[in-house]
Structure 1
């Protein structure tokens, strides 16, 4: 047993490999990542990263990473869930991007999003296989190294179940299977910052951590069940940082109108200009093949929006509804001519 423990210690103490692709894209990315000691490399300071971790959250962005999404093999549902999540909290989701498992693409996107938005979430690319390069790429984006996170590793051993097709797997014995599992707990780490600002364990029954890089880039798995569970579990930590800590979110009022868009356009253009200073946005959505279209008001000032209801109903010759199809006739099949 003693010799097996020694083997494992030597295994865990080996330098972490660079998991970037050896493809042409990865070769090109090597010139994109300027070494940390280079004068041309500008890394966000530790103080700035900590400030991002604690500051108020107004805007959000989502980065979906995966060749399988771009290739049509997998349908992305995480960005839709994230959009509803942000809407429920009153966060302004400003951008959703889908990119390939390409280091240079990941580096460019996370740097830009981290600079522009308060709360950034990535999805995908943190599994055990060769094409899961998100951790390594985001570490490179901010001049960091990957480091085995011992607490995450201990939670993995405690909470993950052995696969039935790996009957001889042993946590104490170095093996290709163990190496693959370790890739999922080798996280970007900044030695100058406290670990509690970099690694979040938000669900007691899940070993999967949320790795936080540069203070506001939150790395989540692409598996929808895990993505959704971790995001919901993260909510209590986000609520105190919202402009409205009650988390009431954004309100959306729907109006059903029989008028074509061309008929309501002049009024809606005027309305949009008048309500914009109050943080309210006006939308118009044709419903092809239906007899009624939809007009929307979206904002956080519910009282002000309620005051607009009679005016909007009169000018669109419709009424406020709870669902777009609420006023549809039973057999609404006629083309909606605009």
Structure 2
């Protein structure tokens, strides 16, 4: 995955218990040693509060609790790469690092609020690497379909195989509690995306929409209303014509 994608994120498994094995697993996958990252350890000591049930805990005295905490500061380290780029600290008030392996695998905690803060904090490190950071060269076309995902899966698989070589990604997103689901086409060639609209509408028995919330009405009713509106406009033009 690291070789196929520019940016990879993992979530969770970096705590002090036996089942927190993300650092160990990724280190093993890349044949790297786990080493105590001194900056992480120093920040942990400085910022961590003493737990009320461990009032006698001492960072300088070996103990099961200290060894457990050290697990969170032992990171996969590649001596052939810049060490400063292998552990990032996006926020000064957090001791938790973002361990970076193979230049693009970012190991984040699983706690939602920490995950979100650290991921957002990575923006300054990520954006300079993107050829189109604001997405201005990327276009997305949305469709709303009343069919369940199982009803469009076969067609979308065929469609993805067809348009993939031309750089178009096909997405399917269920909308829980809503009548319709969403299908997306994402790519850089807007003309090509537009050329697919009629085919996709037919294939998913849906309609193109401007936003996900636009597709809550029955596509047949939307199409009927659009036809009626067009007929009305034509009639008004005929009446107004001198």
Report the CA distance shift for 1:251/1:203 in structure 2 as closer, same or farther (over 3 A).
Answer: farther
**Cα distance between partner residues in 2 of 1:281 and 1:251:** 11
Report the CA distance shift for 1:246/1:295 in structure 2 as closer, same or farther (over 3 A).
Answer: closer
Residue of structure 1 equivalent to 2:82: 194
Residue of structure 2 equivalent to 1:18: none
Q: CA deviation at 1:237?
A: 0.8
Report the CA distance shift for 1:129/1:250 in structure 2 as closer, same or farther (over 3 A).
Answer: farther
Residue of structure 2 equivalent to 1:62: none
**Cα distance between partner residues in 1 of 2:176 and 2:88:** 46
Report the CA distance shift for 1:304/1:297 in structure 2 as closer, same or farther (over 3 A).
Answer: farther
Q: Secondary structure at the match of 1:218?
A: strand
Report the CA distance shift for 1:206/1:275 in structure 2 as closer, same or farther (over 3 A).
Answer: same
Q: Secondary structure at the match of 1:114?
A: coil
Residue of structure 1 equivalent to 2:30: 142
TM-score normalised per structure 1 = 0.50
Asked whether the 8 Å contact 1:309–1:320 carries over to 2, the reply is no
Q: Secondary structure at the match of 1:187?
A: strand
Residue of structure 2 equivalent to 1:304: 191
Q: CA deviation at 1:150?
A: 1.2
Residue of structure 2 equivalent to 1:130: 18
Instruction: Confirm whether residue 163 of structure 1 aligns to residue 35 of structure 2.
Output: no
- Number of aligned residue pairs: give it: 213
Asked whether the 8 Å contact 2:44–2:95 carries over to 1, the reply is yes
**Cα distance between partner residues in 1 of 2:177 and 2:81:** 57
Residue of structure 2 equivalent to 1:184: 72
Q: CA RMSD in A?
A: 4.1
Matches within 5 A, 1:8-47: none
Residues 175-230 of structure 1, C-alpha deviations (whole Å, 9 max, x = no match): 22222111110112223332112111112211111112222322222222222221
Asked whether the 8 Å contact 1:200–1:211 carries over to 2, the reply is yes
Asked whether the 8 Å contact 1:250–1:298 carries over to 2, the reply is no
Unaligned runs of 5+ in 2: 219-242
Q: Secondary structure at the match of 2:9?
A: strand
Residues 124-183 of structure 1, C-alpha deviations (whole Å, 9 max, x = no match): 221111222222232233332222111111111222222222222222333222221111
